[in-house]
Amino acid sequence: MFVSVFLSIFWLGFLLYFAYKLYRSLRIVSAQECIIVERLGKYSRTLHAGFHILIPFIDYDAYYHTLKEQAIDVPPQTCITKDNVKVEMDGILYLRVLDPQKASYGIEDYRFAVTQLVQTTMRAIIGTMDLDTTFETREVINSKILEVLDQAGEPWGVRVNRYEIVNIAPPKSVIEAMEREKKAQISKKAQISLSEGDRDSRINRSLGIKEEAINKSEGEKQKRINEAEGQAAEIESIATATAKGIELLAASIKTKGGKEAVKLRIAQRFIKEVEKLGKDGTELVLPLNLSNFKSVMKSVLGSEDKKV
């Protein structure tokens, strides 16, 4: 009785195990994934996307890999720069499995290996740079690390596409010193800008005063030239008019009765001027004998006057 129950349990367990192995022999692989199959402990084949059947108890699905690009976070680590400053740096790398067989048998854990290689390479590179250089040459550091990872990743069946530094964190005291230096540089630039602005302002004002003085002098010069030209034109016009008047007067004198008309005009003018002098309160001493008007007129008009 006991033996029969034991056998029943044994066969039931065997059937369940066989059913499980049979179920495990059916594999559906998704896109961008693969399975490494071993047969009797040796590498047999790589299963890619699709439906596959394994031989129960002989084939064994040993490794699973994704063929997608993977982003791996590199933990922060302490690096010492060339000028003996400790900085904490972390980053992120992107890799892809190219050969699943090498990734399975070439190394125990390619993700852990790549992370450790990045950290050691980063420490070596930072040790050759000053602190200021590490901030300015991130791209150079990334490219050097990527170059090392390309050489090391080939036997592991993986390729690192890129690496990016996320943070560079120097000590607090260094950050405070850098902030003070930055403030000093900003203050210096501000003072230089103010001084240059004041200098430019003074130069502009002096140039404005200079141009104003030049313009005033040019205006004064032009004004004097215009006044001189106006006076010259006025004198010329008066001279021309006087000359024309003399010409007309001379022509009139030459005509019949012209001389007598001129003498009469002179006499009238003389009498008018003498009347102006004879005002109340005016004392005059004249060299002429005004009582003898005929003799006066004779002396004024000349000896040729016979009759007035």
**What's the Rg (C-alpha) of the chain?**
62
The β-bridge partners of 26 are 53
User: Taking CA 232 as the corner, what is the angle to CA 231 and CA 238, rounded to the nearest 5 degrees?
Assistant: 85
Q: pLDDT digits over 3-47, tens only? A: 677 677 777 777 777 777 777 788 888 888 999 999 888 888 999
Note the pLDDT of residue 94. 92
What share of the chain has pLDDT > 90, as a percent?
A: 7
How many Å separate Cα 34 from the centre of its chain? 53
Q: pLDDT digits over 183-196, tens only? A: 788 888 888 888 88
pLDDT at 292 over 60: no
Residue reference for tokens 């313009």: 215
φ, ψ of residue 92 to 5 degrees: the values are: -145, 135
Note the pLDDT of residue 295. 61
Structure tokens at 1: 């009785």
> Quick one: DSSP state of residue 160?
E
Q: What is the DSSP string of 256-279?
A: TTHHHHHHHHHHHHHHHHHHHH--
What does each C-alpha distance from 100 to 34, 156, 289 come to in angstroms? Answer: 8, 9, 153
Note the pLDDT of residue 299. 59
pLDDT at 235 over 80: yes
Q: Which of 49-53, 186-190, 234-238, 242-246 has the highest mean pLDDT?
A: 49-53
The β-bridge partners of 97 are 158
Structure tokens at 129: 């740079």
